[in-house]
Amino acid sequence: MRFQTDLVPARLIRRYKRFLADCTLEDGREVVAHCANPGSMMGLAEPGSKIWLEPNDDPKKKLKYGWRLVDHENGHFTGVDTGLPNKAVRAALEAGSIEALSAYRCVKPEVKYGTNSRIDFLLSQQGFPDAYVEVKSVTLSREKGQAEFPDSVTARGAKHLGELAAVARAGHRAVLLYLVQRTDCTHVAMADDIDPTYAAAHKAATLEGVETLCLSTHISPQEVTIAAPLVLGRLTR
């Protein structure tokens, strides 16, 4: 998925009020960017970090920049926009490029299910059980090569796991898709020290038949695309 406009490099001054970031552009101008990430962004919001912003000229938007990437300045990037994974996953599903789900041709986003919830994607295809796919953005890494989820306590995430388990018990496919929005990781682990309740809910859901799919990404200042599967392993710290 290509960014709508060319990204511009900047330096982060500070992130505040969760959705705002003060930044310095290369020409020295200071701007305020929208941070489309309500999470903790642990390890990704250090002052002075090189980041990439997406400018816009939409008169309806108060802020003229959106924070999209952290540039680790070693050839690796992390995507910080939590709205991007669903767009990238939808494009991949419709193209049939996610091997584990490539049999499905009908892709419906944001379908109501469970208790006041919406599944990110409901997939259907004649001759196959419906597949309910929940997408999670993974950006935390505290050990080299290891991506972790979640980066903060997520009661909502645990609720989704319970509802996916109910879907699996009903005979459908229930898939939790962790999209790793960073290019420096080779495996994924549950951050059970951050949210043991979520980790326990994931284990219970797995026993009920919920599938876990971890996918890596290729990230550049031009685009983000889904890449190869990653292994779900044990947390190492």
Residue 230 contacts residue 185 (beta carbons within 8 Å): yes
Confidence of residue 133 (pLDDT cuts 50, 70, 90): very high
| CATH number for domain 8-75, candidates 3.40.50.1220, 2.40.50.580, 1.10.3720.10, 1.20.1260.10 | 2.40.50.580
Q: Which whole-number Å values give the CA distances from 205 to 68, 174, 224, in the listed order?
A: 32, 9, 29
Distance, CA of 54 to CA of 58 (rounded, Å): 12
Summarize the confidence of residues 160-170 as an average pLDDT. 96
| Sheet strands side by side (includes 211-219) | 106-113, 117-124, 131-138, 173-180, 211-219, 224-233, 185-190, 145-149, 140-143
Task: State the pLDDT at residue 237.
Answer: 62
Summarize the confidence of residues 155-161 as an average pLDDT. 94
Task: State the pLDDT at residue 136.
Answer: 97
Distance, CA of 8 to CA of 54 (rounded, Å): 6
- pTM (2 decimals)? 0.94
Ranges of CATH 3.40.1350.60 domains, the chain: 84-233
Ranges of CATH 2.40.50.580 domains, the chain: 8-75
Task: State the pLDDT at residue 236.
Answer: 72
Higher pLDDT, 55 or 234: 55
Task: State the pLDDT at residue 61.
Answer: 86
Confidence of residue 103 (pLDDT cuts 50, 70, 90): very high
Task: State the pLDDT at residue 60.
Answer: 86
Summarize the confidence of residues 153-161 as an average pLDDT. 94
Task: State the pLDDT at residue 200.
Answer: 96
Q: For a pLDDT cut of 70, what percent of the chain falls above it?
A: 100
Indicate the fold that domain 84-233 takes in CATH: Trna Endonuclease; Chain: A, domain 1 (3.40.1350)
